[in-house]
Every structure is written in C-alpha cells, then in structure tokens.
Amino acid sequence: MRIKASIEKVPGGMMVVPLLLAATLNTVVPDLLRIGNFTQALFVDGANTLIALFLLCTGAQINLRNVGVSLGKGATLLATKWVVGAIFGLIAYMLAGDSGLWLGLAPIAIIAAMTNSNGGLYVALVGQYGDKTDRAAYSLLALNDGPFFTMVALSIFGAMGFVDGLFSFVSFIAVLLPIIVGMVLGNLDEEMRKFFDKGSAMLIPFFAFALGMGIDFGAIIEGGLSGIVLGLATVFLTGTAGFFIFKAFKWNPIAGAAEGSTAGNAVATPAAIAAASASFASHVDLATVQVAASTVTTAILLPLYIGFLVKRLEKKGVKVPDDYVNE
C-alpha cells in the first residue's frame, strides 16, 4: 500500500488528513483513544509537546548566514506577508461581534493564515519561475513558519487595547525558546541542521492528529466555508501585494506573488498561541479548522493564480524569469 503517496495527493495532506481523521473519530467515538497511558499521551494529549519539538526542528532550518539580494527579497516578502495579515487581523478585531468573530472568521485564524506561508509551495513556484536569489530568499522566509509573527501582531494589538490577555514576556519567550534553541544548534552545526530537518516532516501528522482530537466535526462544518474564504483572501491579498511590491523594486513579481499561501504548519499556530495566553482558548478549535481549510485552498489556488499572472506578463512581452535574473 502507498499510504504516504496517497495522503500527499491531498494539498497539505500530511497535516490535513490526520487532522480530519482525528476530528471524525473525536466526533463519532470520542473515548476510543482516551484510555490513558502512552496511547492517550501521544494521540490525544501530546499536541503541545509535539508542536514544541516541531518548532525546535523548524528553528534549526533558519540559516542566518545569507546576505545580499536574497536577504532583501526575503525580508521584503516577510514584511509584506506580516503587514497585510496584521492589518486584516486588526480590522477583524475592531469589527468583531459579541461572538468575537468577524464574518464567521476568528481573528486569530486570519493572522495565522495570512502571515504564515507554505515554504514548499514557494520553493516549487520560484524553482520554475525564479532565479537562485528568489530561491535563496526562502531561508529568511522560514522565520514566518510558526507562531512568532502571529504573537508579535497580537502583542501589538494588546498594547493598543484591541486584544485581551496581552502576552507576558515569560509566556512569549516560553513559546519562542524551542525555535531559538533549534536556530542556534542549526547555525552552529550543519549536521545538526540536517538531523533536525528529518524531524520536521515526521512530526507534522502526529501533532495534527492530536490537534484533531480536540475538534468536533460540527466545528469543521462551521469553519469549512469561512476557511475557504480565508484562503481566497490570503492568495489574492498577500499574493497580489507581493506581486506589486516586487515589481516596484524591479524584482521578479512572480516570486513576490509566490508567498500568497498558508503554511500547513500554521494549523498549529492557534494552539501554540492559546498555550501562551488562555484568553484565546475559546476560538482555538474553530481557528484551527479555518487555517486548515485555508491551507488546502491556497495550495490549490495559488499555482493557478501564478499561472494567470505569468501569462499576463507574457502578453506584455515580459519573459519570466529571464527578464528578472539577479544572478
């Protein structure tokens, strides 16, 4: 049986499939895996521990040695994603009703989905339509792979009075420390970076399953459509913003648009945020499902949108990437 290959046919499958499977089990037979000991510790209660280990492995992949044009491109993409996601997250908080939702969307889901990008999808797209500086920019983009920038936005909103439960310094560091430890180890020793890289992929389905065991199927139905809307907004808002900003810098605009996605890893962000501040706990389940739906939506839609943009440039006589090579 080709289980792994079958799962990977689904966009973000290694995250989404275990998540939905666990949510189904939790809805139909919620006590099936709640039998104590190692079984419950791994499949039901292990999300925070597994996410912490995943963040450490991810932090080890952040390479601080890259400079030049790649650094400029990576920083620009990083800033664009964060600013667009933060602005719409702030609007959501300002317009949220009594339920704490805006248009059915949890503000924390908006920030998590729009500020985290699918690195694998970015690399695949710039591998086809970009040059080596576009591809090298990914090392800096790894910084938005996790809860860090979501926490920064929420901390700012808290200081502005829009969010309750502003993170304490200790809570902030407690979530970031695994990333920092991984980053230090990965930059001190290339072999450690390679070692932890194996863990990044392996841990995803396990913490996704544990997250799913905290979700009721009713929440999936409730969050599915709004999550698709969130995915559309992520592609067309962050992707289009990246396109025009890169164009203004006379860089390859397709590489700018290639950041218009939601990372599968972002599904873990609401739970990580709630671990740092309990005031966000009430929306964790819904936000997790909405981010998962956005992950799938952007994985399908973004390549189609990139293809549309490439054809539009070609009609204007612009060849991608030949006319934008910075090598």
pLDDT tens figures, 288-312: 889 988 887 888 889 889 989 988 9
In a domain, 5, yes or no: no
User: Which is more confident, 200 or 47?
Assistant: 47
* Mean pLDDT, rounded, for 267-293: 84
| Cα atoms in the 13 Å half-sphere on the side-chain side of 276 | 26
At residue 279, the pLDDT reads 78
Whole-number pLDDT of residue 139: 65
Quick one: average pLDDT of 90-118? 88
Q: Is residue 1 part of a domain?
A: no
The domain spanning residue 237 has which CATH number?
A: 1.20.1530.20
Radius of gyration of the chain (CA): 19
Residue 11 has pLDDT above 60, yes or no: no
> Residue 12 pLDDT more than 70?
no
Q: What is the pLDDT of residue 70?
A: 74
Q: How far is CA 203 from CA 52, 289, 291, in A?
A: 10, 19, 18
CA distance 171 to 1: 44
Strand partners, 105: 102
The predicted-structure confidence for 212-270, as pLDDT tens digits, reads as follows: 887 766 655 666 788 889 999 999 999 999 999 999 998 999 999 999 988 877 888 88
- With 60 as the cut, is the pLDDT of residue 66 above it? no
Decide if 228 is inside a domain.
yes
Q: pLDDT tens-digit profile of 168-213? A: 566 667 777 888 898 899 889 999 999 998 887 788 889 888 878 8
**167 has pLDDT over 60:** no
* Domains contained in the chain, number: 1
SS3 label, residue 101: coil
Mean pLDDT of 302-326: 85
Residue 160 binned pLDDT confidence (cut-offs 50, 70, 90): low
Residue 32 resides in a domain: no
Are 240 and 54 a contacting pair, CB within 8 Å?
Answer: no
Three-state DSSP at 67 gives: coil
pLDDT band at 84 (very low <50, low <70, confident <90, very high): very high
Residue 303 lies in a domain: yes
Give every CB contact of residue 198 below 8 A, 6+ residues apart in sequence: none
Q: How many CB atoms lie within 10 A of CB 14?
A: 18
Does 326 reside within a domain?
no
Confidence check: pLDDT of 137 > 70? yes
**Is residue 106 scored above 70 in pLDDT?**
yes
Residue-averaged pLDDT of the chain = 83
Q: Which domain holds residue 273?
A: 17-26+40-311
- Report how far residue 327's alpha carbon sits from residue 325's, in angstroms, rounded to the nearest whole number: 6
Residue 223 belongs to some domain of the structure: yes
Averaged over 151-169, what is the pLDDT? 67
Q: Tokens 């913490």 correspond to what residue?
A: 207
Instruction: Please check whether residue 7 lies inside any domain of the structure.
Output: no
Residue 40 has pLDDT above 80, yes or no: yes
